[in-house]
Structure 1
Amino acid sequence: MFYYIFSFFIYLFSLPFLIFLSFKSKYKKSIPARFFLYKNPPFKNKTYWFHSCSYGETKALRSIVEKFESVNISVITNTGYEAAKSYKNSDVRFLPFEIFLPFWIRSCESLVVMEAELWYMLFFIAKKRCKKTILLNARISDRSYPKYLKFRWFYERIFENIDIVLAQSEKDKKRLQELGAKNIEVIGNIKTYFKPEIKRKYIKKKPLIILASTHKNEEEMILKELDLKKYQVVVVPRHPERFDEVYKIMKKFGKTERINGKLKMENGKFVLNNDLILCDKMGELVNLYTIADLVILGGSFVDNVGGHNPIEAAYFNVPIISGKYYFNQTALYNEVENIMIIDDIKKLNEAIMSSKRSKIKNRVDLDRIVKLIKE
């Protein structure tokens, strides 16, 4: 009761900020849906309910979601919503803020929550209305662990409402136990399971480098070091609202074309003509990885992101170069052989010359996960 009242006052206090942010393109769908229930009714069908935060986590669910006839999926971000909508067997919603959940959540077969989405009201209400609650792909990063321990008393209350915890590693299992989790099984990281769906084919003119999932300041930092006479470079910003901003940055370094522009075609394949190409189309990375000669993984050269998933590139055995700030992806980095880590962007060309093909070490037991959800 105290938690609900506290959340209600937080909501009231935040209303002016929420209204202001709802006019920004990044939040124009998620904030009205999550905090005002605009076009965001409860799920209609009593089925399996999956919840994830953003694009990466939602995309990782595809391999599991495909094992079910129909599912409900809730998300937090716009990019997560678009990813979930691409699954033909899914009914998709934004997860409302905590104070709305007692009135919004309906009964379901199982609630399956991805990674660290530990919302108290979500599990508390779902425990009463669903047959089973599961925390999937559970992990506690090195950086986050001390913060979790400070609020152990709170997480103990959350874990009282979680029936099964499927952890990524033994290290995560021990940390989760410290926070009060019970019935933990180490199942591996579902992000190591990747089944590519190639929808477009490309032709390159020179050795191709992909700057994947880049963030603010990374594009210019990396492009300054690359020899654009020697390589073609495709830049893939992490957030679509930055497409125009990144396009302007790239034009400083040479003639730039856009994937969503009028690319020429030869024998049913799209031709990348320019030395610089902006990928301004969501879900296109996997198609580009098929012809890549090297991937520079973004989110790791600035210290406020924590890196991104290297598994997709490693599936195609593409050499991968990363910055040193990958603290949120340590578990996945450990699953890939030959990722080249550099601590100084000035060492980029040296790393390119000495890079080796990447390789995924182990793959998760997907059938075991599906069985635990369904049984």
Structure 2
Amino acid sequence: MIIPYNLLITVYYLCYCCLLPFFLLAGKPRRKILNRLGIIRARRHKIWIHAVSGGEAVLSKTILKLLGTDDAFITTMSDNGYETLERIYAGSRVEYSYLCLDFFPAVFTLARRISSSFFLCLEHDSWPNLLRCLRRNGCQLFLLNAFIKKNDLDIFRRFPGIFDFIHKPYHGLLAQNPDTAELFKSITRLEVKAFGNLKYASVPSAQKIKFPAAKKIIICAGSTHDREEKIIIDAASSLLKKHACLLIIAPRHSRCRELSSLLSTLPYRWKLFSEKRTEAADIILCDQNGLLCSLYKACDISIVGGSFIDTRGGHNILEPGYFGKPVIYGNFMVNYSELTGELEKKKMAFRCSAAELGRTIEKLASSKTLREKCGQGLRKKIITEQKKLSNLKKVIGAD
């Protein structure tokens, strides 16, 4: 199987080289093009982490904290991942780049140059040639936070041997939970352990924010996308009309001009967060970056965006949970499916449709006891999981 694979990769690599002028004319980042060809400047590092995209790039910081080191080289595949790495590690000892194509000469050279003792791939995205080169160099390889999508599971079951061909060099697969570990065991003979979801180990930082509407229920809708704001405002309308709640909207990306136009057509009093004097507001639109966790900390009820439309898959539900806030999300929350099933079963989080959202908000708004029970239950779950994850260093043999 390795010979046909390398023939395909070689053809792909040569095609990529032929298309270089078009990539440059199209404005693709020069660094990305060079990195993909294997032209990467980096020194030796003990730890090599591969983070597919932005979410995994953020998680890499948690991994290094658990391992107690910054002697690391981190690779990614996406522009979002690279921008996230730039933001997190600028000026630090950690080096980062796009990962090169899995062309044997390129990955062989890179593996020799980095000479890492541990290679940690986060969640998925494995490269057979790279893994084999690293293993031959004596590197310990682990797939961390491993999970598998249903479609991928069906493919691996239909074509036995493909999974082990890709993942055979790994010394261990650390699955997010026992159920996922059993799924992996059904398709591979590799060593699989149920270690836990490393996203629990991330500790969000937040500043203290006070709102004048102390007697109102404060609802924070975070990381919302186009169309979701209107869904959430309509769902909270009965409370807004009675001035019984303060709705804070922290949209994904800079969409304040668009949302200002929307809010101006509605019969509610609203202000921008930057205006400061928000005493009389029913809705506050956050127009500043980096405040989401602080807003979650200040609220009574959290609504996580990207989950009421079918194109985003949902955003981080653990950020409000860490601060002991009850969490509501939509039926399109799929990115955290490994977590949400357990949370919903134990009534630590609420999944609902757009039509059900209003009733869910009112249910939580009317009962402080229910809010505290749900929020503190989720917080205890997060803290318990964090303690379990603290032995990562021992599990991979890096102590």
TM over 0.5: yes
In the TM superposition, residue 271 of structure 1 has moved relative to its aligned partner by: 10
- 1:231 is matched with 246
Counterpart code for 1:363: E
**Structure 2: which amino acid aligns with 1:196?**
P
Q: Quote the sequence identity (%).
A: 21
Q: Which residue of 2 aligns with 1:35?
A: 36
* Superposed CA offset, 1:289-341 (max 9, x none): 21122221122222333333311211111121111122331212245342111
Q: 1:354 is matched with which residue?
A: 363
Instruction: Provide the residue aligned with 2:56 in structure 1.
Output: 57
Write the mapping of 1:1-375 to structure 2, written as runs, cut at 5 A.
1-11=3-13, 15=19, 19=23, 23=27, 28=29, 31-32=32-33, 34-35=35-36, 41-66=40-65, 67-85=68-86, 86-87=88-89, 88-99=92-103, 100-105=106-111, 106-142=114-150, 144-198=152-206, 200-206=207-213, 207-227=217-237, 230-237=245-252, 240=253, 243-244=254-255, 247-254=257-264, 264=276, 275-279=283-287, 281=289, 283-336=290-343, 337-343=347-353, 345-355=354-364, 356=371, 357-358=374-375, 359-360=377-378, 361=381, 362-364=384-386, 365-373=388-396, 374-375=398-399
Q: TM-score scaled to structure 2, two decimals? A: 0.77
Structure 1 unaligned segments of length 5 or more: list them: none
Q: How much is the aligned-residue C-alpha RMSD, in angstroms? A: 3.3
* Max Rg structure: 2
1:202–1:271 CA contact under 8 A, matched in 2:
no
- Any conservation in 2 of the 1:64–1:370 contact (CA below 8 Å)? no
Letter in 2 for 1:303: D
- Alpha-carbon distance between aligned partners in 2 of 1:332 and 1:29, rounded to the nearest angstrom: 38
**What is the alpha-carbon distance in structure 2 between the residues aligned to residue 253 and residue 29 of structure 1?**
41
Shift of 1:158: 1.7
Q: TM-score, normalised by structure 1?
A: 0.81
2: CA distance between counterparts of 1:235 and 1:278?
5
Distance 1:36 1:78 in 2: 16
After alignment, is 283-292 or 14-23 more displaced?
14-23
Contact 1:84 1:90 survives alignment (8 Å): no
2:144 counterpart SS class:
strand
For 2:97, what is the secondary structure of its paired residue? strand
* Cα distance in 2 for residues equivalent to 1:272 and 1:56: 37
Distance 1:271 1:256, change over 3 A: closer
Provide the aligned length of Structure 1 versus Structure 2: 356
Q: Deviations over 1:96-140 (max 9, x none)?
A: 232343333331010001111223233222222352001111111
- Greater percentage in helix: 2
* In 2: Cα distance, 1:352 partner to 1:75 partner: 39
SS in 1 for 2:390: helix
Cα distance, 1:16–1:363 mapped onto 2, change above 3 Å: same
